[in-house]
Every structure is written in C-alpha cells, then in structure tokens.
Structure 1
C-alpha cells in the first residue's frame, strides 16, 4: 500500500455541521484579514464563535499553536489530515508560499465555497471540476495539486485511479477530451455508432450525459469555457476569482489628509535645508485646522 493510500485511510467525510462551520471559519478569517487583523488574533476570536459541538474549535487551537511556532497555518492543517483534506492544506500552503501568486484571501474564498458545497449534497464530478479549475485559474501546478485532489475522501477508488492517470496525461491531452471520454454521453455515442445498445465500457463512467455533451461541445477550446458552461447548465460551484485592483483610495480620507500634511512638512524641511524656503507661500488667511492629536 502506498503512503498516498495510507494518508487517504486516515480521512473520512465529516458531518454536515462541520462543513457549515468550516465555511463560516474561512469566510470570517478572510474578512478579518481584509481588515488587517493579525492572523493569531483572528484565530483566537473565531474560536469562540464556532459551534462547540463540532471538532473545529480544537482544530483552530492547534492551528493557532502551529502559527505561533512556525508562522504557517498550513503546517497545522497538514498535521490534522483526519480533519482537513489534502486539497484544503495544499491551497493554504500555496497562499503562504512567497514564490506563489496565490493570494491568501482568494485561497480562503476558494475553501469557503468548497466547504459550502460539501455541506449540501456534493457530487464527485462537480467537486473534481471545481478543484481542477482552482488549480488551473491560480496556476497552482497539476502534479502536486492533483495528488492533493486525489486524497479527498469524497472520491472512491475509481475516481482516484482516474485522477492519478490524468495527472500523467495533462499537457498532452485536452482536458475536455479526458472528461468526455469518461462520460455517459461518450458511451451512448458508441452504442449509437455501432448499433449496439448493449455495449458496456471496460472502464468506470464518472461523468453524466450532460457533462459529456458540454465537454464534447468544448473540445479544442479554452477549458475555462467548459467550466463556465458546467456552472450555467448544471449548477456546478463557481470558482472565486481575484478582483481587479480597487479604485478606492488606499487610505481613509482622514488618514490621507494626515499623510498629505506630513508630505508638505517634509517638503518644507527639505527646501529649508537647501536654503530655498519661501515664506511668502504661507501668507494666506489663517485657517483653523484640527490638531494632529485629534
């Protein structure tokens, strides 16, 4: 038995309430990071809000301890492999990797939406396409990425074998092709073409008729079109995207004014040291300004 299989055996699907609390955890974590709250403080605060009947508060305690020790949340997630999936750990580790382009806020949003989907009635086909699109959109790399995906307890042996197989084929075979060839639509096409309604494929069929039709319609196209069509037609979960740079000011107006005043003072000091200080600029009606202390 490979170490991958051993890893998989330590993991089983969690109760629905765990995934609901996980989705809440990832969302609040992201929102508070956006408010520049330190990660250690966020973990301490969220722990109190999480439902105490779940295992998540204990997991958060462990993550906080690992963060304090090593400065990385993903190290803690990796050691809680019975609770967090390899994919969840992989996404966070990529966001914590300085070489990666993955932003932590997007990583948390990806995991929030994934946990939400898990709390409903997750289908392996939809979950796989969601996880694959996350890898593709964020350029996280297919080799380690698909290895992490294959370790998900939602997938049975047929799925894991197929994921391992396509890990080797990606780059040489079109992704839409890989999906189409494992669909019920492909089986129906063979039956029709060979006039053999009894035809049974020798391999497991993993995708339905609709998925196969959508894959077939997207052969040779950018796979992002196929992902969008699966979301539109079949309600597959949509992958969060990084937002374009905000047009909002970097600082709040009051802070912005204070910076401008500091810049003006610096400019004044610089010109004074150069002997270029011109007092006439300041011969204006005095205006009452709030003091720096307010």
Structure 2
C-alpha cells in the first residue's frame, strides 16, 4: 500500500472533483487546475500529469488509472470504469463519493500501520478500540480494518448494482487484502446469491471457530477465519433477514463510513400538475375546433376595445 500522505491527498482530490464537477467543467480542466492544489511532496501530482495525457488520447479516466496500477488500487479503477460505462446507471458523482470515503479508510489504516514501533506495538492513540474495549494488537487491528474494507466495498457494489463478478475480482486484487482474503473473495464470487450472506460471514468468523473448539470439533477443512467474534455474532443474528439489516448493523458496530446511495429524483410532484395544465389547454382547443365545425365559432368575444390614447 501507499504512504498515509498519498491517501490523504487522494481523499482531498476526490472531494474537490465531486464538488466542482457539478459545474459541468470538463475533467481535463479540473485535473489541470487541481494538481496545483495538491501536496507536491506526494506522487499524486505526477499521477495526474500522466492521467491528463491519457485523457487527451482516450478520453477515459478509468484507462489512465488502470495504467497506474501501482498507485491506484484495482477497486478504485473499477469504480471509475463503471461510472464511465454507457450502459450503467452508476454516475461519476456517486463514484467520487465512494472513492473519497474509500481513500479516508485507507488513510486511517495506513496511519495505524505507520504507528507500529520497532517492537511491533501500535501507537498510544490506536492501542485501544475507539468505542472502548481491550488493547488492540497489530493483528487484531489488521483484521478489523480488512473487515471494514470488505463490508464497505461489498455494500458499495451491491447498492449500486455494479456486478458481483467484476467487483469481487477487483476486490481480490486490492493490496489491502492478504492472500487468505484474496482466496476467500474469489470463492465468495461463486457463492454469492446462492448461499445466505449471513451464513457465509458466520462460517468465516472467529465466533464459528470458538463454537467448534467448545464442541471439540476439529478445524480441519474449516475457515479461513477472517472476521472477529463480534462480526460472527452479528451475522448469526441476521440470518434469513434482509441483507440491508446485516450491513446496517455491521456499519454501526465496525464504524466504517456509510456507503453513498443514488438519490432518486422526485418528479411526480411536478409531473401531475403539468399534465393537468396540458389537459386543460387541450380541452379548450377541442372546444374551439368543435365550434368551428358547427359554424358556431364567434370571434367577437375575443375582441377588445381599443384603449384611449
């Protein structure tokens, strides 16, 4: 993964793009302007220079990010490519919101990683769980962070209907996940939609492993156990329920940012009155046509007396 400063600047860039793209400014002009506002000690300005060159040739930001796979993660590239798809409904505005939240998650995770000292201990500000709880080791921190990344990424894919096959493939190639996570994500790609999501999460949790140990059941062929006991209990409590409740509970307890959702425009409020006005105008025109056919049309009622000068 990149340094913490890189993700901080990425979050700032995506936030500025989201705010200024609403002004209908071309992406090339926006990137050309914003590169001067970014921290010059990071590699993001150089990445923007390369992206500008690619944009002038192909006009697609996703292709430019794909060529910078050492800087932008596969999941970030996947989001931009989906927003540039002509057949999808995933807009660039929602993509930039998701990218900003994702960059903030990565910045928080890398800040925790950089706080680990030479003895392998977390810094004082990260040694306890923010909501209270026992001391957090680097292993527990990494497990909780990857769980948060997974739920945020997966919910972003499902809520915006981006496609599980391509989305989970992009997640499996993301450097935030280790080898065990990569294998599990590829297996999940084949099982999602066929097996209840809560069951899949419970079977990959420490809560399931604890119950197996309590019942003296061998762990051969089980796992990998990627989620904590809390995630396992939440998944067990949400079996056979709408996945919205499952992800809502995970978001509340793990503390990852809410996934931006598409805003549905309410057009009915203006459509019905406009239709009524059109119907009234049509009725008046039909009456005039009927009067003209019956030779009852009288123009004199439309006359107006001239005003005195």
TM-score, normalisation: structure 1:
0.77
In the alignment, structure 1 residue 160 sits paired with structure 2 residue 148: no
In the alignment, structure 1 residue 62 sits paired with structure 2 residue 77: no
Between the aligned partners of 1:62 and 1:282, the Cα distance in structure 2 is 72
Between the aligned partners of 1:279 and 1:242, the Cα distance in structure 2 is 54
In the alignment, structure 1 residue 90 sits paired with structure 2 residue 110: no
In the alignment, structure 1 residue 150 sits paired with structure 2 residue 138: no
| 1:121 alignment partner, SS class | helix
Moved over 4 A (4+): 198-202, 278-283
Q: How far did residue 236 of structure 1 move?
A: 2.3
In the alignment, structure 1 residue 222 sits paired with structure 2 residue 210: no
1:48-106: per-residue Cα shift (whole Å, max 9, x none)?
00100111001111111111111110010000000011110011000000101101100
C-alpha contact (below 8 Å) 2:203/2:223 kept by paired residues: no
User: Which residue does the alignment assign to 1:35?
Assistant: 23
Between the aligned partners of 1:217 and 1:46, the Cα distance in structure 2 is 46
| 1:113 alignment partner, SS class | helix
Which has the greater radius of gyration? 2
Between the aligned partners of 1:233 and 1:73, the Cα distance in structure 2 is 35
Between the aligned partners of 2:96 and 2:50, the Cα distance in structure 1 is 18
C-alpha contact (below 8 Å) 2:105/2:256 kept by paired residues: no
- Aligned residues: CA RMSD: 2.3
Unaligned 5+ residue runs, structure 2? 111-144, 268-298
Unaligned 5+ residue runs, structure 1? 1-12, 248-275, 284-294
User: Which residue does the alignment assign to 2:150?
Assistant: 128
Q: How far did residue 180 of structure 1 move?
A: 0.8
1:229-280: per-residue Cα shift (whole Å, max 9, x none)?
0111221222111234279xxxxxxxxxxxxxxxxxxxxxxxxxxxx9x996
Between the aligned partners of 2:34 and 2:152, the Cα distance in structure 1 is 27
